[in-house]
Amino acid sequence: MLSTIFTADFFAAILRATTPILFATLAAAIAAKSGIINMALEGMMLFAALFGVIFSSLTQSWAGGLLITMALGGLLGLILAFFVLNLKTDEILAAIAINLVATGGTVLLMLAFSGDRGTSISIQSVPAPKLDIPFLQDVPVLGSLLCGHNVMTYLALIAVVVVHIFLYKTPLGLKIRAVGENKNAAESVGISSRRIQYIALILSGILVAMGGFFMSGGYMSMFTKDMAAGRGYIALAASSMGANTPIGGFLVAVLFGIAQAFANVMQLSTIPYELIQMVPYLTTLIGLGIYSYSRMKKRQKAGGK
Amino acid sequence: MEKQIVLQMLNIMKIYSNGVVANEDVTLELEKGEIHALLGENGAGKSTLMKVLFGIETPDQGKILLNGQEVHIKSPQEAISKGIGMVHQHFMLVPSLTVAENIILGVEPRKGKVFIDFNKAVDEAKKIAETYNFDIDVTAKVEDIPVGIKQKVEILKALYRGADILILDEPTAVLTPQETAELFVQLKKLRGNGHTIIFISHKLDEIKEICDRATIMRNGRSMGTYRVSEISTDDMSRLMVGREVAHSFEKEAAKCGDVVMRVRDLTVYNSQGVLKVDGLSFDLRGGEILGIAGVEGNGQSELIDTLNGINKKYKGTIRIKDADIQRMSIKDVRNLKVAHIPEDRMVSGCAGTLSILENLFSNQYDRPEYSGKMLLKRKAIEKRSNELIEEYKVKCRSNKQAVGMLSGGNIQKVIVAREFSSAPDIIIANQPTRGIDVGATEFIRQRLLEFRNAGCAVILVSADLNEIFALSDRLAVMYKGKFSGVFTDVSAVTEEELGRYMLGLEHAEKLEGAIYE
Amino acid sequence: MNSMRKFEVLRTVMAILIALLISFVVIFFVSEDPFNAIKWLLTGPLTSKRNFFNVVEAMIPLIFTGTGVCIMFAANQINLASEGAFHLGGLVAAVVALKMTLPAGVSPVVGIFLAACAGALFTAIPAIMKIKTSADELVSSLMINYLALYFSTFIMKYFLMDPAIGSASYPIPEASTLPTLISRTRVHPGIIVALAVAVLGYVFLYKTRIGYQLRLTGENQKFAEYSGISIVSVILISQLLGGFIAGMGGGIELLSPIYDRFSWTSLLGYGWDAIIICTLAKKNPLYTPLSAFFLAYLRTGASIMARYSDVSLEIVQIIQGVIILFIVAQQFLSRYKHKMIAQEAKSALKDEEVA
């Protein structure tokens, strides 16, 4: 088994498992920085996975499908924002509602488009391609490690840097952090916290939509019912473990990716598949426990002296 | 020469969603380049009026004219763009950002089109600070700077945004006298530059010192606008509270009993690791009121939370009736017949969404009168709650009404009724009358005296010096976590003297009277 | 106060109407014969005795998880693990039924009791994590639901599986199955237990000492702490009890005439439904049967509609989602509410002036 682990394939498997979580984690981080827990990531991702299949098929282009999916993801973020910010709906309950609508709505939509209620196999979608980087791919070891991954994987890695710069170097990022940390302070200088949170949630929707797109157009090449499988929730945990920073979230998402890739490798062993499926969730749970515990101790230390 | 009117707020009415009428037909006019006091007790409606002006609240009636033109201010953003700036009582700063970042927040200088130009931000912040002679390190993080500086940052923030009209909401409440004096110099300079300042306060001497005119509010209504030079402090206070302020109570001599609380070398750090109580030792006897005065933030809150058993992380010993409370739960401490009126009534004093009845029994629901092994005794609770509502004159529709719907004074009465009805031997009262109406204040003070006369020990922390002077049998002043002075003869202390101790200008070399031995 | 209650009722009704309206719009889009579909959706459950009692059957699990969530949410413990607790409850009941030989009357009782205990232990995991590590119970409970699912599938496949079927356990023996109460329906004694649980849940929250502690903590934890209530015990008790009830519901559901084997290979969603029930019932267990009836009616209607028209069952999840959105939207109709309150305040002012 060890021999299967230290290979380029295994590295690719990690990146593949990390990609959707990473997008969702960044989405969770932006929302959290603005002061909102976006638990609707799960439903948004599910919607996006279906939209990706539908629109890449309609446009016959993965890029076209991706752009429309991102736009619709932003729209979902906007809807969540409307309920949470305008109608003052509890953000957790609003998220639960959106997730419910997603579970039912995706099946209805798929039925309407494909006539099948389990998978979208009959829809001719265009998945995102794998990317080979000229020259680099000829370099030994590095080439096989760094090349040939899905375009969305590269986009996810770029997104980490972009979101980091966005949050810490741009005026809007500063405003998002200010609103999340002290809403009243931001309001007092005329920043409309509502507008900022709207923007944060729309961006969050766009990012998680990219993750959803990858689920059905990269991770797999079709949509299946409930295919988000808790990734939106895992992203919440990952983001909070990463102190809601893009870099921290990235590290935790990779950890999750490793757990998932391990699980995939172990499928070949004699360990029951159901137990293997538990690994990523168990890893996240234990990680969350350890992180929270160390943070609690740190706080107590600061207070205790 | 007729002065130019810059702002008129006409017949403003504001009713909150819980039915409280905060402003009722209030009119306010500002002349250009004046410092205009908005005077009134807590809850008189000053803050609400200013929130309306600053676009935080929408009025239910009335209009606002700026330079003679009617304006509708729907958000702070609009207020700022119209040249109105506000310095809030609770600082509106983002702690993890630097002073410069806080100042430029919302109007950031840019590098290219996309990025913040952090260097330019620092330069501009420095420039504005120099323009107004504010001595501030703009690269420091806000969480690391003292209160006085934070306030300057707040004022700079408003000025940086081009404020002509500056609202200052109780700016001196958290300042030392030196800082206050410095602030006044700055404000006079600003007035000289043509800025108009609304100065919210209930401190008459300060108003006398720097304000040109004053609008006095009481109970959500305006009691008129006066030239400060033409009205006496007595008249101002009469308009503010409705009658002459009672400076002293009829008080019989204290009949001190046994020592019920012994505190030795108490040291407490707050959650940020800052030393808040520094080796404090004192005793408390039954039948006396120990007043603790001090500028807010000198460790009073931490001291009180530790005495009540809420904070468990401390060094030193606290013995209540000879029992060490180190390992005791809050419940255990309460079982020693300790009652506690908390500082912030909405945070830890009540559950606003629950009924009056449910709020009246949180400390005694498990007593045999009110509860069996499992079930609560509904009838007994019902009966007792109605008795308490009557006894404490809580104005409400029924005991089922949610506490959060009541006025501040009535909420406080519910809390006091609950704490006092537990038949305490020790009462720890932290700001028991803050922000409530005169009637409720008088009532609560009278009750405290009655308990003291009946042999109960009372610790009274209050920012209201009148209250401290009127009630205390013994008086301690807290400064930076220590007692800077302890006075056993309260009548011999003057306000000025107390002030010097509060501000740390004077220290008792050797503390006498804190410990009975 | 009265006007406030009236307002709450009005808002709930409006939310339901809007949700139905939206679903009609969806139906108009997807259906060839929308009026037929809508007719079945709204009146389907009333068309036969069997259909109507389908509603009653469907209510039972909803009342259980709904009451469990009411108790946890009343203490402001946002534990979403009732989903997993229900699932595990079903598994444990199946294990007891298949692996323990007990007399006919005793077997289901033991099965259901152990199912409830399993549920309690399960929802206690986030509670204990919160107490010991301060990890947020919301996030941890989301994770452990998946653990419950895969663990149950594992046990079923390796220890209970009927090779003749492949993805389900051996049939539950007669001795462990709950009887039917009404002939030619599948209504079982679970409904009586469920109603009892709802009433007991109400008594617990509103009439007992511990219930009072829970609610006080739920509304304002700092205040509860200051009053001397042990927050740790509230966190633990509320979540143990919530899981106990959810697990009991899972056990009863599995042993009911509705299932003849343990065949749950995906989460059934009763934990999420419970949140809708709790929201509709305003965290008062006494109202959970009513809310459960409403939801069950809607579902039964939808499944009848799915049978007799071209609209599929999933529409119901959209309706549910929209209902929650509007019911918990505080600002929904708030202008009306503010007007109502301002009116009252103004007239009160006038009264004072007259007097």
**To 5 degrees, how large is the angle CA B252–CA B256–CA B259?**
155
φ, ψ for residue B152, nearest 5 deg: -60, -40
Number of domains forming the structure of chain A: 1
Exposure pattern of C158-191 as b/e (b: 16+ CB <10 Å)? eebbbeeeeebbbebeeebbbebbeeebbbbebb
CA B357 to mean position of chain CA atoms: 27
Most distant CA pair in chain B: distance in Å?
79
C229 and C114 in one domain?
A: yes
Residue range A169-188, pLDDT digits in tens: 999 999 999 999 998 888 88
| C38 in a structural domain | no
| Residue B393 CA neighbour count, 13 Å, CB half | 8
- Rounded to the nearest angstrom, the minimum Cα separation between C116 and chain B is 22
For chain B of 517 residues, list the mean pLDDT of each consecutive stretch of 10: 82 79 88 90 80 90 91 88 87 88 88 87 90 85 82 88 89 75 88 91 82 89 91 79 53 82 91 82 92 84 92 92 91 92 87 90 89 88 91 86 82 92 92 79 89 93 83 90 88 78 76 77
Cβ within 8 Å, pair C1-B351:
no
Residue range A67-76, pLDDT digits in tens: 999 999 999 9
Cα separation, B30 vs B485, in Å, equals: 43
Q: Which residue, among C208, C226, C346, would best test binding to B if mutated, counting the most B CBs under 10 Å from its CB?
A: C226
Q: Which residue, among B78, B94, B99, would best test binding to A if mutated, counting the most A CBs under 10 Å from its CB?
A: B94
Contacts of C76 in chain B (CB under 8 A): none
Of how many residues is chain B composed?
517
B475: three-class secondary structure by DSSP: strand
- Number of Cβ pairs closer than 8 Å across A and B? 83
Its domain, for residue C278, covers 56-292
Cβ within 8 Å, pair B272-A177:
no
φ, ψ for residue B234, nearest 5 deg: -60, -45
End-to-end CA gap in chain A: 48
C77 and C221 in one domain?
A: yes
C265 and C318 in one domain?
A: no
B5-241 and B246-350+422-517 in the same fold: yes
Query: C172, C237, C233: which is closest to C204 by C-alpha?
Result: C237
Cα separation, C306 vs C313, in Å, equals: 5
Whether the CB of A4 is below 8 Å from some CB of chain C: the reply is no
Whether the CB of C142 is below 8 Å from some CB of chain A: the reply is yes
Cα separation, C342 vs B373, in Å, equals: 44
Query: C242, C196, C199, C192: which is closest to C74 by C-alpha?
Result: C242
| A277 in a structural domain | no
Residue range C274-291, pLDDT digits in tens: 998 998 888 999 999 999
| A238 in a structural domain | no
| C237 in a structural domain | yes
C227 closest CB neighbour out of B19, B362, B374: B362
Cβ within 8 Å, pair A100-C320:
yes
C333: three-class secondary structure by DSSP: coil
End-to-end CA gap in chain C: 23
Whether the CB of A85 is below 8 Å from some CB of chain B: the reply is no
C150 and C193 in one domain?
A: yes
Is ipTM > 0.90 here? no
Whether the CB of A21 is below 8 Å from some CB of chain C: the reply is no
Contacts of A171 in chain B (CB under 8 A): 108, 110, 116
Architecture of the B246-350+422-517 domain:
3-Layer(aba) Sandwich (3.40)
Cα separation, B231 vs C338, in Å, equals: 40
| C100 in a structural domain | yes
Whether the CB of B510 is below 8 Å from some CB of chain C: the reply is no
The secondary structure element, H or E, covering residue B496 is helix B495-502
Say if pTM beats, i.e. exceeds, 0.90: no
Residue range C122-166, pLDDT digits in tens: 999 999 999 999 888 988 998 899 999 999 999 998 898 888 888
Number of domains forming the structure of chain C: 2
A242 and C125 in contact (C-beta within 8 Å)?
A: no
**What are the C-alpha distances in Å from B172 to residues B135, B157, B432?**
18, 18, 21
C24 and C66 in one domain?
A: no
Residue range C288-299, pLDDT digits in tens: 999 999 989 988
Chain C (201-260) residues lying within 8 Å, Cβ to Cβ, of chain B: 203, 207-210, 212, 215-216, 219-220, 222-230
Query: B275, B324, B312: which is closest to A300 by C-alpha?
Result: B312
Sign of CA dihedral B292, B298, B300, B303: negative
A232 and A45 in contact (C-beta within 8 Å)?
A: yes
| A24 in a structural domain | yes
A189 and B91 in contact (C-beta within 8 Å)?
A: no
Its domain, for residue A167, covers 16-228
Whether the CB of C200 is below 8 Å from some CB of chain B: the reply is no
Residue range A257-300, pLDDT digits in tens: 888 888 888 777 788 888 888 888 888 899 889 988 988 888 77
Cα separation, A24 vs C144, in Å, equals: 19
β-bridge pairing B196-201 and B35-39? parallel
Exposure pattern of C194-218 as b/e (b: 16+ CB <10 Å)? bbebbeebbebbbebbbbbbbbbbb
Cα separation, A231 vs A211, in Å, equals: 10
Whether the CB of C337 is below 8 Å from some CB of chain B: the reply is yes
Cβ within 8 Å, pair C215-B366:
no
A285 and C151 in contact (C-beta within 8 Å)?
A: no
Whether the CB of C136 is below 8 Å from some CB of chain A: the reply is yes
Show me where the domains of chain B are located.
Answer: 5-241, 246-350+422-517, 352-414
Is pLDDT at C172 greater than 80 in this prediction? yes
DSSP E strand stretches across chain A: 130-131, 149-150
Structure tokens at A153: 């994987």
Query: B237, B193, B228, B225: which is closest to B210 by C-alpha?
Result: B228
A89 closest CB neighbour out of C140, C157, C329: C329
**To 5 degrees, how large is the angle CA B444–CA B447–CA B453?**
150
- Rounded to the nearest angstrom, the minimum Cα separation between C132 and chain A is 7
Cα separation, C326 vs A83, in Å, equals: 8
C288 and C206 in one domain?
A: yes
Q: Which residue, among C200, C219, C237, C282, would best test binding to B if mutated, counting the most B CBs under 10 Å from its CB?
A: C219
C326 and C247 in one domain?
A: no
Which CATH fold topology does B5-241 show? Rossmann fold (3.40.50)
Cα separation, B133 vs B145, in Å, equals: 18
| A251 in a structural domain | no
Structure tokens at B236: 């101002």
Residue range A114-129, pLDDT digits in tens: 877 777 777 788 888 8
Is pLDDT at A256 greater than 90 in this prediction? no
| A62 in a structural domain | yes
Beta partners for residue B63, in sequence order: B10
Q: Which residue, among C11, C78, C133, C334, would best test binding to A if mutated, counting the most A CBs under 10 Å from its CB?
A: C133
